[in-house]
Each structure stands twice: as C-alpha cells, then as structure tokens.
Amino acid sequence: MVLILVTMKDFVPLFFGSKFLKVKDLVIYITPIILFISWSNLFGIQIMVPMKKENYLTASVIAGALVNFTMNLLLIPNYQALGAVIGTVVAEFTVTLVQMILVRKLISLKPLFSQIWKHIVAGLITLLVLFLLSQINLNPIWRIVLELATGLTVYVSVEMILKSSINTLVFRKILSFLRIYPS
C-alpha cells in the first residue's frame, strides 16, 4: 500500500500520460482495499469455507454488495469515479467487518492481531522514508525504481528488527528453500 501511495504521482503520468492524472488520486484512494480484500480472503476463504460456514461468507458478501449499491446510487451522481471508489472501499470494509464479527464466533481474533502494531510501524517508517525520498529531483523512472528498492529494503529491515513472527517464519522458509538456513 505504501509503495502505491508514494509512486502514483510519477507512475500515472509516466505510464498513462497526462490525460489520466485524475487516476493518480483514485488509485491512492482505493489502496485500502488491498488490506480489506486480503483480510476478507483470510476470514472468508481460509477460515469460513474450510469450517463449512459458507453461509457466513455469503452474508458478508451480500452486506458488501448492498453497501456498494447504495453508496454508488448516492455518490456517483455527484462525485463520478471518486464516488465509485469510495463506495468500493466502504463495501470491502463492510465485507471484512462482517466477516470479522462472524468469524470471532469460530476462532479467537486476538492472536491474529497481536503483532499488527509491528506491521503498522514498519509501514509508517517506510512511508516517511519514501516521502522524503520522493522529494528528490530525479527522472520519474529512476525515482520509481529508487522508491521501490528503498521501500522494500526499509520495510523488510524494520520487520526484521521488530521480529514479527509471520515474517520471521517467511524469511526462514525462504532461506530454507535456498538452503541457506536450516528449517
């Protein structure tokens, strides 16, 4: 999400042209759905479906569809594409929220969110570093490349420093796959 937020100001005009500059803001505003869709995938597909709670999944999707339809009716006439983006983000949030409410009847959510602060800190530090980096006067392509490389490096480094359990597991699996670190 952070990389999208920072690189869009260069990416859109470079790859789509100056006629599509409004897309830059729309992409920035829609980035939260990355988080919401990943969480709803976890709750819906990876938890509800294996536990034979497809009815919970269906209820969450219907709630999201109703919110999206209603918000689109209200927002698109006045705000056009931005209204659609807002409706989509709120609808995806609704799906995720309903799934979280329903899935807490099946499992404890506390372990899933106990280390979320580490990811937030890593993201905020990365955002700060990339915001400062984005102020450098460079060719847009080189700035995007520099932002992507720096963003990845900073985020992974902060995650390693904070020792988030999921990333420690991922790093060990990768190193084990590369036969550098025994699993």
Q: Which tens digits make up the pLDDT trace of 64-121? A: 999 999 999 999 999 999 999 999 999 999 999 999 999 998 999 998 888 899 999 9
Taking alpha carbons only, the member of 67, 68, 65, 59 closest to residue 99 is: 59
Residue with tokens 């609808």: 91
DSSP H/E element including 25: helix 21-30
Position 179 pLDDT exceeds 80? no
For 170, the domain range is 108-182
Among 60, 75, 107, residue at a domain's last position = 107
Measured CA to CA, the distance from residue 113 to residue 109 in angstroms comes to 7
Q: Do residue 32 and residue 116 come from a single domain?
A: no
When pLDDT is averaged across residues 25-36 and rounded to a whole number, the result is 95
Q: Do residue 3 and residue 73 come from a single domain?
A: yes
Q: Do residue 66 and residue 45 come from a single domain?
A: yes
Position 183 pLDDT exceeds 70? no
Measured CA to CA, the distance from residue 33 to residue 29 in angstroms comes to 9
Q: Give the tokens for residue 80.
A: 């056009």
Q: Cα-Cα-Cα-Cα dihedral of 149, 155, 161, 164, to 10°?
A: -140
Among 75, 107, 139, residue at a domain's last position = 107
Q: Give the tokens for residue 126.
A: 């990365």
Q: Do residue 78 and residue 116 come from a single domain?
A: no
Q: Do residue 79 and residue 114 come from a single domain?
A: no
Taking alpha carbons only, the member of 60, 67, 101 closest to residue 86 is: 67
Q: Do residue 133 and residue 161 come from a single domain?
A: yes
Q: State which amino acid sits at residue 64.
A: G
In residues, how long is the chain? 183
